[in-house]
Amino acid sequence: MKLYLATQNKHKIDEIAMILAPYSIQVIAAPFKKLELQSKNIEEIALKAVESIEPQDAPVAVEDSGLFIDELNGFPGPYSSYVYETIGIKGVLKLMQGVADRSATFISVIAVKTPQGEIKAFKGETKGTVTLQPRGKHGFGFDPIFQPLGSNKTFAEMSIEEKNIYSHRGKAAKMLAWWLRGII
Ligand code: ITT
Ligand code: NA
């Protein structure tokens, strides 16, 4: 089976492809243009985006994600991509200077549309902390400053395989795999 993934982010493709491969689902980077909605809700953004894509000969998916920092009332959340490109990791660490509670949650929603037009969404969440300093060279985005609960490594210190065990995207992709394979 193949699955189209409408994204510009190659890391999302690599991570999701690794989860789906054991289920014999091949991820294909899709050039489809999707709606880029402004919303406070990751799930709504992903659902509206996939709704805006015509059904294809195989399921087509979009993934929307963000880092929600408790002490910043969920910022940058749905604005994570913009915040990463503007103030970046340095700027976020600056906002967190002197903040004792460094807890944060990464959220990923994968929305999928079948060739028949059926739509489903799968949400994965990972709690952790924003580290005091960036650590690690792997991954993308805020990976160097996010340490998931249960590990002493940041996402950027993990291989894709290890990150997938802990990550929001890994959890959402696993549910997607089960659904595509009729397990759930
Ligand atoms: P597409 O919209 O083309 O899929 P994007 O990177 O713009 O790619 P989003 O709009 O979903 O994707 O933005 C999510 C941002 O949140 C992303 O750019 C990162 O800055 C951050 N992010 C999400 N998941 C992450 C992860 O696993 N590790 C590090 N940062 C992550
Ligand atoms: Na985006």
pLDDT-derived band at 183 (thresholds 50, 70, 90) equals confident
ipTM of this model? 0.98
Q: How far is residue 50's CA from residue 3's CA, in Å, rounded to a whole number? A: 13
pTM of the model: 0.97
Domain count, the chain: 1
Report pLDDT digits (tens) over 106-122: 999 999 999 999 999 99
Compute the distance from residue 80 Cα to the ligand 1 centre, in Å.
7
CATH number of the domain that residue 163 is part of: 3.90.950.10
Task: Ligand 1, residue 143: give the atom nearest the CA.
Answer: 29
Q: Are 42 and 77 in contact (CB under 8 A)?
A: yes
Is residue 143 a known part of a binding site? yes
Q: How far is residue 142's CA from residue 163's CA, in Å, rounded to a whole number? A: 13
Percent of the chain at pLDDT exceeding 90: 94
Ligand 1 pocket residue status of 73, Cβ below 6 Å? no
Residue at 19: amino acid letter: I
Nearest ligand to the C-alpha atom of residue 105? 1
For residue 144, what are the domain limits? 2-180
Residue nearest to atom 18 of ligand 1 (CA): 81
Ligand 1 pocket residue status of 143, Cβ below 6 Å? yes
* Mean pLDDT over each residue of the chain, to the nearest integer: 97
Report pLDDT digits (tens) over 62-109: 999 999 999 999 999 999 999 999 999 999 999 999 999 999 999 999
Angle (CA) 150-72-158 rounded to 5° is 30
Ligand 1 pocket residue status of 80, Cβ below 6 Å? yes
Ligand 1 pocket residue status of 147, Cβ below 6 Å? no
pLDDT-derived band at 163 (thresholds 50, 70, 90) equals very high
Q: In terms of DSSP bridges, do strands 2-6 and 60-69 run parallel, antiparallel, or are they unpaired?
A: parallel
Is residue 128 a known part of a binding site? no
Judged against a pLDDT cut of 90, whether residue 184 lies above it is answered with no
